[in-house]
Structure 1
Amino acid sequence: MPASESSKISLPRGVRIGYGSGSVATGAFGTVPGLMLLPYLTDSLGIAAIAAGFIVFLPKAWDVILNPIAGRISDRTTDPRGPRRPWLLRAGLALAAGFALLFAAPEMATGLEAAWVLVLFLACATAYAFFQVPFVAMPAEMTSSYDERTRLMTWRVAILAFTIMLAGATAPAIRDAVGGRDGYRVMGLVMAALIAVGVVSAYVGTRRAPVTAPQPGAGSLRDQLRIVAEARDFRWLLTCFVIQALAVGAMLAGVDYLASDVLGRDGAATILFVLFVGPALLLTPIWSAIGTRIGKKRGYVASSVFLAAGALLTITAQSAPLAVVYGAVVLIGVGYAGCQVFPLAMLPDAAAVDARRTGSNRAGVYTGVWTAGETLGLALGPGVFALVLALGGYRSSTDGGVAQPDSALTAITLGFSLLPAVLVVLSLLWLRRYSLEAEDVDGTDGPGGALDESVSA
């Protein structure tokens, strides 16, 4: 089918929702360990903070290496269900099983308990890579439509935002309601069940999705990574996204510090978290419509401006009324919603253009590199924020009751506001070089759109 015709085909709503439901799994696994694993290690298992930090960070570093490999393997998978869907079920159910065991360490010596968590978290990270990379790669093969991918991402981001709020609110509540190590065990089982629901829903929901016959590129993984690295538009987009992931990671790491040390309000951390993520539930369809009207790149720029402006406004947190700070975080959430929709919709465009030009399907490799970059950015964000705290003379304690010097309060505020704002603005220097438009992706004539339609037929 010529690209110009296939681009007009809309996916059934059931397929959009089915695909988006995979974000239940990614949202739960992406949120709960960040909230719960470090306290579990230090306050329940009695593991030293340095060792606990190593246990939490190592799987993130492993994913950076593994994601491109997972993409390469899924590119070369041959199955009647398509190259990606079998991995959703296999890796997704393995992830759910591993997550249930992660917080269920039996009573052992401290060193053995630490080893239990490290091995299980590495296993979860491995399963997650083989679920997430094929999952993110699917839109490039489900539709050739530039606008349809944006609509597909609308469902995905909306479900992701809802899951982040649901998992982030209920996981601590379950732990506290049950209490002790049993609280963590029950919480792990509930979250594992939630992950399994998302996995099965995504697998079943995409059974009617169009499947592109796999045509994996020739050469070794190293050769394909080199080719992907030479794709200029993808490189500019990825650089922008990673820098913004670094900014978001720093802000998320600073939520609790801003709430407790700067605002000094009980429950403020929960409110800030909801205000940060909540707008995505309402505004994702609006950003999608804006992108259809003005283009994904312009929509991405606009949402980035909202994100940077909201971050910069929180620089007043030490002196402004609480309502102003909350309003600034809402503005951050407005921008954050768009900054999730547009890059995730632009990624399959870059992979699809590469496939049309070369006749080789490297969507998995593209996605593997993308998710590795995202993981790196989100992992570095808390580290950069911690460095800002150290420069400000932040005082650590065992009970959080130490009064912080003014320099530390300023560091918290700047780490949450000025630092992310500068990073987001800086990221636009790379985004402005991105040049793919609808005519390039759909294969129609236009600036840069003279693609070989015989390849895409």
Structure 2
Amino acid sequence: MTATPVSVTPRLDRGTRVGYSAGSLVNGAFGTVPGLLLLPYLTDTLAVAAGLAGLLVLLPKAWDVVLNPIAGRISDRTTTRWGARRPYLLVGGLGTAVTFAALFAGPFSGGAGAAYVTVAFLATATAFAFFQVPYVAMPAEITAGTADPYGERTRLMTWRIAVLALAILASGAAAPAIRDAAGGGRDGYRVAGLAVAALIAVGALAAFWGTRRAPTGSVHESEPSLRKQLAVARRNRPFALLLGCFVIQAVGIGVMLAGTDYVASGPLDDDGATSLLFVCFVGPALIVTPLWGRVGARIGKRAGYVVGSVLFAAGALLIGVAFLLGEAPLGAVLAATALVGVGYAGQQVFGLAMLPDTIAADEAVTGRRQAGVFTGVWTGGETLGLALGPGLFGLVLQFGGYRSGVDADAQPDSARTAIVLGFSVLPALIMLVALPLLRRYDLTPARLATLTAPTAPPGDRTTSTHGEA
């Protein structure tokens, strides 16, 4: 079950970087559009009760927590002439495109419509899991044959995050506009679903074709059960520490995104500000992601991760200060949100660049390539964190006395305060409280080189990398 190792090359070629990064079109579209359109599609077009509709939107996220590690284990066991991961880019990506189009083509209303969407959304989430997990696992393997794998992973992630930000912006802005231009209603959603499905298919095909010259690395049989997979992940201390930090921070990101529409219609009293806030949150990544790559080369990945997280928290706190001091001008809130976006880009770049390092360290210690195991646990944890964010924001609204079904002008002052605190102070605190987990993360370039050196003594190779986390 072992592929032939490749010879050392200086760097990945540009075509491989672009091709791999194109897969973010799939991630960006699937991660954005259902959150924007699926709930109103269920309630306003298919006449599904709001409570049930909310449950249906959350259900696939819970399914992914279980499915993602399974998808990782399956891809670890796959052997083809295309390598272990690339076949899933094609099959999983195109499967996501087909089921996504079907998701917004529901022929039923009411209870039948709810059942149809449940089946279609679960099918889409399943197909996406078999794309996403192998896709996230690839960097550890395709960079293994480069002269500087540690630095090459950061360069690869800067490309990926830039394309991801572009995909989120494009799909998030275009899908509602396409729906409205097609006349809204069922027909409008069907056209929008087809358009987004086409974008997903393009991303899957580009990623599959663009990585055809990428090294496949070596893949060995992984742990046979989910329980053993989790045990493997826990024993890899750098991975466990990084995962814990990233998942906790995903909760904060989910809280902030969930509060965007409430802030726009409530404290800002401008429904159109939702799109502006969204653009300011995601847009900076298109500009600053290459700069974060340079920052990482100068100060290291862990330090860059901390700086990005602190900038995120600082921007969120500035939003809270602007509101709590009085009537906050839209420009000031947007500027602070842009600072959040700058920090978010850094947090994502370095988190995803550090993940392959933990996988490479595990292989050096154990002699087993189990990228699918780690990325399955990683994506499942991230999905859980992002899903918990809206639930936590809902609790903040409840404690603030938020009144459902009434106009923003009729909300009590306590509810408006809860919206502001939930959108600003709470995500800032969550972002910062996770950082102490990284104090014991020690995979510096020198440490990783020691672990992967063929002559490293066994004791030195196991002292710091594995243990109870």
Q: TM-score range by the shorter chain?
A: over 0.9
Could you say which residue in structure 1 is the equivalent of 2:434? 427
Offset at residue 441 of structure 1 (A):
2.8
Question: How far apart are the structure 2 equivalents of 1:406 and 1:343?
Answer: 38
What's the secondary structure of 1:121's corresponding residue?
A: helix
Are residue 60 (structure 1) and residue 61 (structure 2) matched? Answer: yes
From 371, 375, 385, the equivalent of 1:363 is 371
Superposition map of 1:53-452 within 5 A: 53-106=54-107, 108-144=108-144, 145-178=149-182, 179-217=184-222, 219-318=224-323, 319=326, 320-397=328-405, 400=407, 403-442=410-449, 443=452, 450-451=460-461
Cα distance change, pair 32–352 in 1 and its aligned pair in 2 (3 A): same
Offset at residue 316 of structure 1 (A):
2.6
Cα distance change, pair 415–98 in 1 and its aligned pair in 2 (3 A): same
Query: Partner letter of residue 401 of structure 2?
Result: G
Question: How far apart are the structure 1 equivalents of 2:176 and 2:223?
Answer: 48
Offset at residue 429 of structure 1 (A):
1.2
What's the secondary structure of 2:410's corresponding residue?
A: coil
Question: How far apart are the structure 2 equivalents of 1:233 and 1:118?
Answer: 37
Contact 2:69/2:229 (CA < 8 Å) preserved in 1?
no
Query: Partner letter of residue 132 of structure 2?
Result: Q
Query: Partner letter of residue 419 of structure 1?
Result: L
Query: Partner letter of residue 250 of structure 2?
Result: A
Offset at residue 425 of structure 1 (A):
0.7
Cα distance change, pair 381–119 in 1 and its aligned pair in 2 (3 A): same
Offset at residue 323 of structure 1 (A):
2.2
Could you say which residue in structure 2 is the equivalent of 1:455? none
Contact 1:76/1:216 (CA < 8 Å) preserved in 2?
yes
Cα distance change, pair 237–448 in 1 and its aligned pair in 2 (3 A): farther
User: CA offsets per residue over residues 260-300 of structure 1, 9 Å max, x none?
Assistant: 10111242111111010010000001001111111100000
Question: How far apart are the structure 1 equivalents of 2:221 and 2:368?
Answer: 5
Query: Partner letter of residue 186 of structure 1?
Result: V
Question: How far apart are the structure 2 equivalents of 1:395 and 1:215?
Answer: 55
User: CA offsets per residue over residues 378-403 of structure 1, 9 Å max, x none?
Assistant: 000000001101111111117x4552
Offset at residue 231 of structure 1 (A):
1.1
Question: How far apart are the structure 2 equivalents of 1:73 and 1:294?
Answer: 37
Question: How far apart are the structure 2 equivalents of 1:263 and 1:38?
Answer: 23
Question: How far apart are the structure 1 equivalents of 2:226 and 2:47?
Answer: 42
User: CA offsets per residue over residues 332-373 of structure 1, 9 Å max, x none?
Assistant: 011000011001011111011101111111100100000000
Offset at residue 109 of structure 1 (A):
4.8
What's the secondary structure of 1:262's corresponding residue?
A: coil
Aligned residues: CA RMSD = 1.9
Superposition map of 1:27-42 within 5 A: 27-42=28-43
Contact 2:46/2:109 (CA < 8 Å) preserved in 1?
no
Contact 1:440/1:449 (CA < 8 Å) preserved in 2?
no
User: CA offsets per residue over residues 98-138 of structure 1, 9 Å max, x none?
Assistant: 000001011x3521111110000000000010000000000
Contact 2:105/2:190 (CA < 8 Å) preserved in 1?
yes
What's the secondary structure of 1:211's corresponding residue?
A: coil
User: CA offsets per residue over residues 389-447 of structure 1, 9 Å max, x none?
Assistant: 1111111117x455211101100000011100110110101122211111233435999
Query: Partner letter of residue 47 of structure 1?
Result: V
Query: Partner letter of residue 424 of structure 1?
Result: M
Question: How far apart are the structure 1 equivalents of 2:458 and 2:365?
Answer: 12
Offset at residue 167 of structure 1 (A):
0.5
Instruction: Give TM-score scaled by structure 2 length.
Output: 0.92
Question: How far apart are the structure 2 equivalents of 1:99 and 1:45?
Answer: 17
Cα distance change, pair 371–218 in 1 and its aligned pair in 2 (3 A): closer
User: CA offsets per residue over residues 295-341 of structure 1, 9 Å max, x none?
Assistant: 10000000011001001111134323322211110110110000110
Query: Partner letter of residue 295 of structure 1?
Result: G
Cα distance change, pair 49–448 in 1 and its aligned pair in 2 (3 A): farther
Cα distance change, pair 448–427 in 1 and its aligned pair in 2 (3 A): farther
What's the secondary structure of 2:186's corresponding residue?
A: helix
Query: Partner letter of residue 412 of structure 2?
Result: P
Q: Count residues with an aligned counterpart.
A: 446
Name the stretch that deviates more: 180-189 or 441-450.
Answer: 441-450
Query: Partner letter of residue 351 of structure 1?
Result: I
Question: How far apart are the structure 2 equivalents of 1:81 and 1:139?
Answer: 15
What's the secondary structure of 1:138's corresponding residue?
A: helix
What's the secondary structure of 1:263's corresponding residue?
A: coil
Identity among equivalent positions (%) equals: 61
Contact 2:266/2:409 (CA < 8 Å) preserved in 1?
no
Query: Partner letter of residue 192 of structure 1?
Result: A
What's the secondary structure of 1:253's corresponding residue?
A: helix
Instruction: Give TM-score scaled by structure 1 length.
Output: 0.94
Contact 1:353/1:440 (CA < 8 Å) preserved in 2?
no
Query: Partner letter of residue 439 of structure 1?
Result: A
Task: Name structure 2 gaps, 5 residues minimum.
Answer: 463-469
Question: How far apart are the structure 2 equivalents of 1:49 and 1:421?
Answer: 30
Cα distance change, pair 289–109 in 1 and its aligned pair in 2 (3 A): closer
Contact 2:222/2:373 (CA < 8 Å) preserved in 1?
no
Contact 1:395/1:402 (CA < 8 Å) preserved in 2?
no
Query: Partner letter of residue 184 of structure 1?
Result: Y
Question: How far apart are the structure 2 equivalents of 1:121 and 1:322?
Answer: 36
Query: Partner letter of residue 27 of structure 1?
Result: G
